[in-house]
Each structure stands twice: as structure tokens, then as C-alpha cells.
Amino acid sequence: MSILRNSPPLGVDKIRINKFFTEHGICSRREADRLIEAGRVTVNATVAKLGDQVSTADVIACDGRVIPWGQARVYIKYHKPVGVTTTSESHIPRNIISEIGHPERIFPIGRLDKDSSGLILLTNDGDIVNEILRTEFGHEREYEVGLDRPYDQSFLDRLAKGVVILGKKTQPCRVQRLSPKRFTIILTEGRNRQIRRMCQALGYRVVALHRVRIMHVTLAGLSSGRWKPLTTEEQRDLFRAVRRSSASHEDAEHS
């Protein structure tokens, strides 16, 4: 016999069930909708439906496992080595979640290719993910790149102006020479394998790709394969950047 859904006490806010999943670090809203459509989510032992509203008075479970309310927010940075795959899927060898082994359920913000290394942020705060990743907010990501052969100044100039990949020109970016085969590049967008595709379009092959910075967060003091929580200052700067970009975006939509 199924349990009837309770009405929340007066003054208790309700949220959409897919938002509950993101706020508790389970998965994205889209992934939550797929779980719901597959009948794997219940609210008070009744199979959930897309668009259901829930509150702290409800018991939500996925695959029979109850998900507790009130999980603390987690924000960490990880120095990903080459060979680790940026996925939450547990069956993938050396997936980023098993490599980190964090006690809370977290997921990566964006991704790095298996053959790339460097900084990646992880969290259980689903609401902050899109604000960091959305291209129009212009959040910077800095990389060090190694090529298969020496390049000239015209190569850097063409990169900086934008290169057509996958039928669309990339946004202008900042580049700086490090050595005959190495340079840094700062992007404000994150298209699939973007740097590798940009270099390939200009006749070069990337042999090493290392991310050193996401916005104000860097790898300073973090060795390969290690992770640590963002400091209070890093979190504060992150929230400030997200609130500023979100507010500007909302103002533009309503202007």
C-alpha cells in the first residue's frame, strides 16, 4: 500500500523535485528528470512524476535509497592527472569521483579530457554549475598548451582572433608564448575539445594540455592527484562572481 503524500506545514517552502536533486548533489536537473521518467524516484513511497513539488515534510528516495534533506554545500578543487576521466559514472575505470573518494556525493563542474590535466572544480551545489559554465558570463579559464612542433607569431595571432571549428568561429581569446612549442591561452567559452580543435585547424597537434586556472581559483599548492576544499576567500570570490554575472544576465533579459 502506498503512502499518501503529506501537505507541508504552513510556512514550509516547496521546490520542484528535479531541483531537490541538484541541491543535494545527486545529479543535474536533466539527469533527475530521466530518473523520474524511468520510475526510479519516489516521494513518500509513491512513484514521482515530472514537475512534482516537494518539501522537508516529504521522504524522497532514488532506487529505494532515501535522500536526506539539509546536506551541507561542498566546493572543492582537484588537480586532475592525465588518465582520469571526468565522469560520475561509477563503471568507468579511473572516474573522477572514485579517484577523489570524497565522503559526500559531488559532481564535476565542466570537464577535462582524459588526456588533459589540471584544475577542475567539484560540488554538490547544482544551482551554481550553470552560472559558472554559461558562455555569456565570460568566466576565464587558463591553460598551458604543448604542441608537436614549433610555432610562429602568426599562429598565436590567428588563435587570438578566433578559429572556425565545428562550423563556428571561436570567440577571441588571449595567448602568450612560453617557449617555441608551448604557450598559454585564456578562454571565456568551453566548447568540446576546443583548444585541440583550434590547434588542429591551424595544422598543429596538441601533445600536452594543462588547466591552471578557473576564474580566480588556481592550482597553487595542489600537487597532481590531490584535492582540497576551496578556502573561505575562494568561495566568497566565487559566489561574488556568480551573483554579479547572474544579476547582469537577469537585467539584460528584463531590459
Closest residue by Cα to residue 126 from 41, 18, 239, 250: 18
Question: Is-contact 2 45, C-beta < 8 A?
Answer: yes
User: Which among 52, 58, 63, 113 is annotated as catalytic?
Assistant: 113
DSSP, res 81: P
Closest residue by Cα to residue 21 from 79, 94, 71: 71
Q: How many CB atoms lie within 10 A of CB 106?
A: 22
DSSP, res 137: G
Catalytic residue check, 113: yes
CB contact burial 152-188 (16+ within 10 A = b; e otherwise): eeebbeebeeebebeeeebeebebeeeeeebbbbebe
Give the residue numbers marked as catalytic: 113
